[in-house]
């Protein structure tokens, strides 16, 4: 028996994963697999040259037992963009949808019950599988979709977290791959994440890699701040365009907040009323403290126990739409039947 309300953000085996192979310039048939492993050529381009991209989206079970997907088309588009940025083929939206719906059909019983705070995390993944030695694009690719029921990414769910400004490394370069979802960005962030955890912070907060003057994003999520009834979030070529953040910007505007997507200078940190991280996994996680190790100064926001009022309003609306409790006026939800 799964204890749905105590699920971590972690991997759990399910009934099936879905696969499709690209070869000779075309995608093949969609196939259903029970094995959790992939057999790879040791010279596969994903292993040596990082030809790998992925996505993360969720399916939610509502109070009416309806299963909803949130803006999956945006994940499909972003995955194609990521793939093309590192020399891999585009993924047709129809193929993405076919694999997604086949995955849900085979794993419906793993979509957690309403009211447990859990959801089904879906991980599409694409890798170059041709064995070759020289630096070049593979001619063959494997696209896999698997899923796992998950609880919130941050252990305490919506409880505020502390983050530490990272000054010893960058997760991406100004014209690098920070704006797409490829594995290399996350490899570049592993050490900073480990250091942040060792020092008692939930994640590293990266600065713009060119001037180190502006906030970029957190390891697994975008950054936002709120002051003077304004939702402020970084504009940067080295961060991932978060679908959650795009949605929050729209929801903030809908409730009469001003929305600014612009450079956020470090000098502005003391002026914010609320700060937070947002993403599919992080949902809306408030930040109660940002520590700057160079200046040895901490900026604090709200209370360590509760969400700021405006973050809370945005969180409730977003999660309400995802679970079907709040009307989906933007047409973001797809019902799985």
Query: Contact positions toward ligand PLP, by CB under 6 A?
Result: 56, 217, 220-222, 240, 242-245, 279-280
Q: DSSP for 244-299, please give it.
A: HHHHHHHHHHHTT-EEEEE--BGGGGGG-SEEEEEETTTEEEEEEEEEETTTTEEE
CB of 181 to ligand PLP, least distance (A): 6
* DSSP state letter for 213: -
Based on CB atoms, which residue is closest to ligand PLP, 208 or 217? 217
Q: Establish whether 227 is a catalytic residue.
A: no
Based on CB atoms, which residue is closest to ligand PLP, 240 or 307? 240
Q: Which of 181, 250, 258, 337 is catalytic?
A: 181
Of the candidates 232, 262, 263, the one whose C-alpha atom is nearest the C-alpha of residue 248 is 232
Structure tokens at 222: 């975008």
Neighbour count for residue 30 (Cβ, 10 Å): 17
Calpha distance 110→108 (Å, rounded): 5
Backbone dihedral angles phi then psi of residue 330, each to the nearest 5 degrees:
-95, -5
Based on CB atoms, which residue is closest to ligand PLP, 49 or 153? 153
17: alpha, beta or left? (left if phi > 0; alpha if psi -120 to 50): beta
Asked whether 70 and 318 are in contact (CB, 8 A), the reply is no
Calpha distance 61→115 (Å, rounded): 9
Calpha distance 74→55 (Å, rounded): 10
CB of 234 to ligand PLP, least distance (A): 11
Based on CB atoms, which residue is closest to ligand PLP, 45 or 236? 236
CB of 187 to ligand PLP, least distance (A): 12
Based on CB atoms, which residue is closest to ligand PLP, 22 or 201? 201
Structure tokens at 322: 């995802």
Distance of CA 259 to the CA centre of its chain: 21
Asked whether 58 and 125 are in contact (CB, 8 A), the reply is no
CB of 6 to ligand PLP, least distance (A): 23
Based on CB atoms, which residue is closest to ligand PLP, 107 or 245? 245
215: three-class secondary structure by DSSP: strand
CB of 259 to ligand PLP, least distance (A): 16
CB of 134 to ligand PLP, least distance (A): 30
For residue 331, give every residue at least 6 positions away whose Cβ sits within 8 Å of its Cβ, in sequence order, or none: none
Question: Active-site residues: which are they?
Answer: 181
């Amino acid at each position: 028996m799964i204890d749905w309300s105590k699920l971590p953000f972690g991997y759990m085996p399910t009934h099936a994963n879905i696969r499709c192979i690209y070869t000779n310039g075309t995608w093949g048939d969609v196939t259903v697999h029970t094995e959790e492993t992939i057999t790879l050529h040791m010279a596969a381009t994903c292993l040596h040259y990082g030809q790998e991209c992925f996505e993360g989206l969720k399916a939610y079970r509502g109070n009416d037992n309806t299963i909803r997907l949130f803006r999956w088309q945006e994940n499909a588009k972003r995955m194609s963009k990521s793939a093309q940025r590192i020399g891999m083929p585009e993924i047709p939206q129809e193929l993405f949808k076919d694999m997604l719906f086949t995955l849900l059909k085979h794993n419906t019983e793993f979509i957690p019950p309403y009211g447990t705070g859990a959801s089904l995390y879906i991980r599409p993944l694409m890798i170059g599988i041709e064995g070759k030695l020289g630096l070049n694009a593979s001619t063959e690719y494997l696209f896999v979709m698997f899923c796992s029921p998950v609880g919130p990414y941050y252990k305490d769910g919506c409880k505020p977290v502390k983050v530490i400004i990272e000054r010893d490394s960058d997760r991406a370069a100004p014209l690098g791959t920070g704006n797409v979802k490829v594995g290399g960005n996350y490899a570049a962030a592993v050490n900073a994440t480990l250091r942040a955890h060792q020092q008692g912070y939930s994640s590293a907060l990266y600065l713009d890699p060119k001037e180190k003057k502006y906030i970029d994003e957190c390891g697994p999520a975008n950054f936002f701040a709120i002051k003077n009834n304004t939702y402020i979030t970084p504009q940067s070529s080295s961060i991932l365009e978060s679908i959650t953040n795009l949605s929050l910007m729209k929801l903030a505007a809908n409730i009469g907040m001003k929305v600014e997507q612009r450079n956020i200078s470090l000098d502005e940190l003391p002026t914010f009323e609320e700060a937070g991280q947002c993403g599919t996994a992080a949902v809306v996680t408030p930040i109660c403290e940002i520590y700057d190790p160079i200046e040895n100064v901490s900026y604090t926001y709200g209370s360590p126990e509760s969400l700021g009022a405006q973050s809370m309003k945005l969180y409730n609306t977003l999660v309400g739409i995802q679970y079907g409790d709040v009307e989906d006026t933007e047409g973001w939800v797809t019902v799985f039947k």
